[in-house]
Structure formats: structure tokens, C-alpha cells
């Protein structure tokens, strides 16, 4: 499969101008992991799916990652809930094998620099428990996305350290 020479900036991004502060609200409900970013106007995301036929209920899957061209992002977990973070420092030629899953105990925040591929955090919590994180980022918020299904005919597997069916 050939690579794109450049990736376009996502629609409805890249046209704000001041720093912005808000919260991420991340949680599992039914078979989905949701994340809402109140810092930007198009901040409603489904970042993971657990298929009904999946026997290993520790697995969820995601199809995309993005990076910000213009500024970084700083996130601090309010309730010290442990979480996973999917990151890659690949350039525009990102491949599924470039993605790395990190586990945090929730006691400290993190900073994502510009041009670092990422997804919102995956909280290690029971279904319908909200993980609230304070968020500060550049509001220009120009996003570049990679859809692994469309580009590589694959999903990224997130192995949670908990069994979602027993929560």
C-alpha cells in the first residue's frame, strides 16, 4: 500500500487562536470507550470498541490516532485513576507497529508534544465510572488523523489490565 505524501488537517480544526483549558471525561459504557474533550468544539470521541463476540474481554480496539501540528497538550488526572495511553512518535508514514501502549498509575499527569500521535487516555475503571482529567492545550487544535482501517485494513488492539465483563 502506498503512503500519502501529506495528510490533510481534519475538518473543523485549526481555526481557533488562544490557549484553551477544559476537561476530558473518559468512560466505558456498553461495548464502547468514550472520551469527551470540553477544550475543543469537536471533542466527542469513541476511542475504543469491545466486540460482542470477543472471548477475551480485556481487549478493546481502536481504529485511529491523531496528532496536533501546532501545540502540545497537558493532562492531569483528578482522581488518580490508573490509565493507558496509546502513543507514537512516527511521522506521517505511521504504521500500526509504530504504536506503543503505556500504562500509568494515575498519580501524575502527562504532556503530549506537537507531532506525537495519540488517542485520549483509556481509564482502568469499571463500566460507567467517569475518569475526569484536567486538560490544557493549544486551541488552534489543527489535527491530523490516521484511520488504520482505511489505510491498513486493521484495528489496533488495546489490552486492558482488567476484565470488562466482570466490572
pLDDT, one tens digit per residue, over 36-83 is 999 888 889 999 998 888 776 789 999 999 998 878 889 999 999 999
Cβ distance 102 to 110 under 8 Å? no
The DSSP code for 137 is: E
pLDDT, one tens digit per residue, over 97-145 is 999 999 999 999 999 998 999 999 999 988 889 999 999 887 666 789 9
User: Any idea which of 1-5, 95-99, 100-104, 153-157 has the lowest mean pLDDT?
Assistant: 1-5
In the chain, DSSP finds a helix count (H) and a strand count (E) of 1, 14
For residue 111, the cross-strand partners are: 74
Burial class (CB in 10 A: 0-12, 13-18, 19+), 120: buried
Assign 52 to helix, strand or coil: coil
Q: What is the pLDDT of residue 16?
A: 58
Looking at domain 19-162, its CATH architecture is Sandwich (2.60)
Q: What band does 4 get if pLDDT is binned at 50, 70 and 90?
A: low
Q: How is the chain split into domains, by residue range?
A: 19-162
Q: What is the pLDDT of residue 127?
A: 84
Cα dihedral sign for 122, 127, 133, 138? positive
Amino acid at each position: 500500500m502506498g503512503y500519502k505524501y501529506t495528510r490533510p488537517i481534519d475538518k473543523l480544526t485549526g481555526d481557533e487562536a488562544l490557549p484553551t483549558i477544559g476537561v476530558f471525561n473518559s468512560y466505558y459504557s456498553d461495548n464502547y470507550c468514550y472520551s469527551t474533550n470540553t477544550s475543543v468544539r469537536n471533542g466527542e470521541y469513541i476511542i475504543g470498541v469491545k466486540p460482542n463476540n470477543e472471548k477475551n474481554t480485556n481487549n478493546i480496539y481502536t481504529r485511529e490516532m491523531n496528532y496536533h501540528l501546532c501545540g502540545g497538550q497537558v493532562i492531569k488526572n483528578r482522581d488518580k485513576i490508573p490509565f493507558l495511553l496509546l502513543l507514537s512518535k512516527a511521522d506521517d508514514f505511521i504504521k500500526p507497529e509504530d504504536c506503543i501502549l503505556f500504562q500509568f498509575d494515575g498519580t501524575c499527569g502527562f504532556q503530549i508534544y506537537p507531532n506525537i500521535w495519540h488517542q485520549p487516555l483509556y481509564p482502568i475503571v469499571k463500566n460507567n465510572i467517569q475518569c475526569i482529567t484536567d486538560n490544557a492545550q493549544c486551541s488552534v487544535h489543527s489535527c491530523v488523523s490516521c484511520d488504520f482501517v482505511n489505510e491498513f485494513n486493521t484495528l489496533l488492539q488495546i489490552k486492558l489490565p482488567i476484565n470488562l465483563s466482570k466490572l
